[in-house]
Structure formats: structure tokens, C-alpha cells
Chains A and B, each alone.
Chain A
């Protein structure tokens, strides 16, 4: 095997360093949007392959973490949309009405409600309420306007409250 040139080796090292630090967060985001472990695994690998191909074009090192997250979020949202648009809709585990055994009580209702949200709503809820990104930061990560993020959040909250109240 040919040894990597110094520049390629440096790029690999910096990519691997960031990926190692962020992989758990990235996988959490992928899973929270797709709600299927196999899908999340594939999506994250595809997204990171895309990121690696463009890695050296991102000059600003301080922006790389956000950029990596944005690649992951957008890839997962669009991947999910692709699945939905495909003729003869592909069924995923998230579509199954089998309750997750890890949840008890009101979390069962919350889980059902969360799975019923759109991928963009799930992304907005997870990034804003779990990771604490501001509305503007969510908008940047999801490549949309801040107003759209607010709408996604408000509708998601209304839907989750309704589901939990009806339970």
C-alpha cells in the first residue's frame, strides 16, 4: 500500500480527531432524526464520507465542528425525505408500532408522539431542547430560516402536548 502524503496524513489526522470527539453526538442526532439504528448508521457513514471528501475545503478550523454537524443533520433530513418519496415506500423500524421496551409511563406516549413528528421537527426539537442550540444556530444547522425553526418547534410541542394529554 502506498504511504499517505504528509498533507493527506494531516487531513486524516484532523478529521479523525474531530470525528472521534463528535461521533457520539453525531450518531445521537442521526438516530433522533431517523429513529432507526440501521438507518442512522448508514446515514452517518454516508454523511461522514461526504464530509471527508470536502474536508480540506473547510479552512476555518473553529467552524469544522458546526460544519460536520450541519452535514449530518441535512443528510439525515434529506435521506428520510428520499425514503418517503420513493415509490413503494420503504418501511423502517421506526414505522413499526412496537413500543420501545426502554420506556415506561408517560415516556411511552412521548415516544409515540416524537416518532409521529416530521424529520425537520425532530431535528429542531433535538437540537434546540436537548443540545441547547439557539433558534438561529438550529436554522444554520438545518439550512433554513429561523422562522421555520420556530414553526417546527411550535408544531412539535403542540403535537407532543396533545398526545400526552390524550394518553
Chain B
């Protein structure tokens, strides 16, 4: 008998929220900087052991040099590290064209075509608000018409589709909103708004709806 792989509504929604949280973490720095060059220079474990031993000897030599030649340690340090020019620290900000973050149900390609970029938050500061607080703020934005807020995902938003472009670290929360009071007995329609809550001030930075948003 074939085994069932169909999800029921409850587990489906729990999994959706669960993966939204687990995939919204900041990328580790080494992963963010990974490239053919950095991978090519990555040491394998055995090479690492040898290099580690060499490093210990080099450190001991450096200590000896500094102790016996005070005032000349900068030159010695520079020589041992291979110079500073080739190992400049990378910029912290996300590069242009970086991959967008994924938010359940949101078509990031359509959004980026509209001038709305939701980029990974790494390197753009620390959120003061918690995810729960952001959800409460987002839910409150639609008042009595709001349904249960979706997961809150931290992102660095670049909104260039308006008169005053906005860039900020913010929580992205989807809020289902009823279409308001209708004169007919038909239930008011549901639409989704994507609310961007400033992760530092707690203010609503933008409310998005329309193309690219379910």
C-alpha cells in the first residue's frame, strides 16, 4: 500500500512557520564570503595541523623578535601575515545583486522588479525588537480587519519604488486583511499585506500589497 505523504492543514502551517524561522537566520560570515578563491585557499584538516604547528613556531619567533627588538614589531608582524594589502577586510554591507531572502508565498523576483529588495540582514546591525513584538506591531497596523500574522523574518529592505527611497533593517511580517465591510452577504475578501517593521525603532517602515504578494 502506498504510504501517505500528504500534509494536513495543521502540520502544513506548523512546518511553514517552522522553516520560516529556521531559514531566516543570518548567514555565517565565512559562508557569506565563500567564493572560488576562498575555497581554493581553504586548508584541509591535515594541512591545517601542519599549518597550525608552523603558526605556533611563527608566533614564538614573533614573540622572540618583539622581545629582543622593541620598536620593530610592526614590520615583523606585517612580514609574517604576508602583508596587509591582499587580505583587506571585506565590506560588511550586502553587495548589490545579492540573493533575496525567501519569505513563504512571496515572489521575490516580482518584488525586486517593482524596486523592492529584501536582502539578508547580515552586516546591517542588530534588531532591538523581537519577532513577537514585530508581529504584534504588524497585526496592529490593520486593526480589526487583521487576521493572524505570519512568521516574522529579519531582512535588510531596500525600497526604491517610491519618492523617498527607504533602506532599513526590518522585520517582514505578512498580515491577512479582510477587505472591509460589504453590503452583500458574501464574506469580505482576504488579501495579504506585507508589513515591514523597523527592527530598531519599531515603526512601520512600509506596507506592501499587490503583485508578488499572495
A-B interface pairs (CB < 8 A), number: 108
Given A27-B27, A37-B28, A102-B131, the answer on whether A20 and B5 have CB atoms closer than 8 Å is no
Residue of A at shortest CB range from B33? A23
Interface residues of A in 2-27 (CB under 8 A from B): 11-12, 15-16, 19-25, 27
- Which residues of A have CB within 8 Å of B4? 154, 157
**Are A114 and B18 within 8 A (Cβ)?**
yes
- Which residues of B have CB within 8 Å of A48? 34, 39
**Are B36 and A107 within 8 A (Cβ)?**
no
Give CA–CA (A128, B15) in the complex, Å: 11
**Are B19 and A32 within 8 A (Cβ)?**
yes
Given A19-B35, A48-B34, the answer on whether A24 and B19 have CB atoms closer than 8 Å is no
Interface residues of B in 1-59 (CB under 8 A from A): 2-5, 7, 11-12, 14-15, 17-19, 21-23, 25, 27-28, 30-32, 34-37, 39-40, 42
**Are A23 and B18 within 8 A (Cβ)?**
no
Cβ-defined partner of A16 (8 Å) among B35, B131, B132? B35
**Are A41 and B30 within 8 A (Cβ)?**
yes
Given A49-B42, A102-B131, the answer on whether A161 and B11 have CB atoms closer than 8 Å is yes
Give CA–CA (A130, B11) in the complex, Å: 12
Give CA–CA (A101, B171) in the complex, Å: 17
Given A130-B19, A157-B7, the answer on whether A45 and B39 have CB atoms closer than 8 Å is yes
A111 located at the interface, meaning its Cβ lies under 8 Å from any Cβ of chain B in the complex: yes
B81 located at the interface, meaning its Cβ lies under 8 Å from any Cβ of chain A in the complex: no
Give CA–CA (A155, B36) in the complex, Å: 38
Give CA–CA (A64, B139) in the complex, Å: 41
Given A52-B39, A150-B2, the answer on whether A21 and B99 have CB atoms closer than 8 Å is yes
B183 located at the interface, meaning its Cβ lies under 8 Å from any Cβ of chain A in the complex: no
Cβ-defined partner of A32 (8 Å) among B7, B22, B40, B101? B22
Give CA–CA (A160, B27) in the complex, Å: 27
- Which residues of A have CB within 8 Å of B2? 150
Give CA–CA (A74, B19) in the complex, Å: 20
Residue of A at shortest CB range from B8? A161
Residue of B at shortest CB range from A103? B21
A164 located at the interface, meaning its Cβ lies under 8 Å from any Cβ of chain B in the complex: yes
A71 located at the interface, meaning its Cβ lies under 8 Å from any Cβ of chain B in the complex: no
Interface residues of B in 123-142 (CB under 8 A from A): 131-132
**A-B contacts, 19 listed (Cβ < 8 Å):** A15-B36, A20-B97, A23-B32, A28-B23, A31-B23, A37-B25, A41-B28, A41-B30, A45-B39, A49-B40, A52-B40, A104-B132, A107-B21, A110-B18, A129-B7, A130-B15, A150-B2, A157-B5, A164-B14
B residues neighboring A (CB under 8 Å): 2-5, 7, 11-12, 14-15, 17-19, 21-23, 25, 27-28, 30-32, 34-37, 39-40, 42, 86, 95, 97-99, 101-102, 120, 131-132
Sorted from nearest, which 7 A-B pairs have the closest CB atoms?
Answer: A154-B3, A12-B36, A153-B5, A28-B23, A130-B19, A49-B39, A41-B28
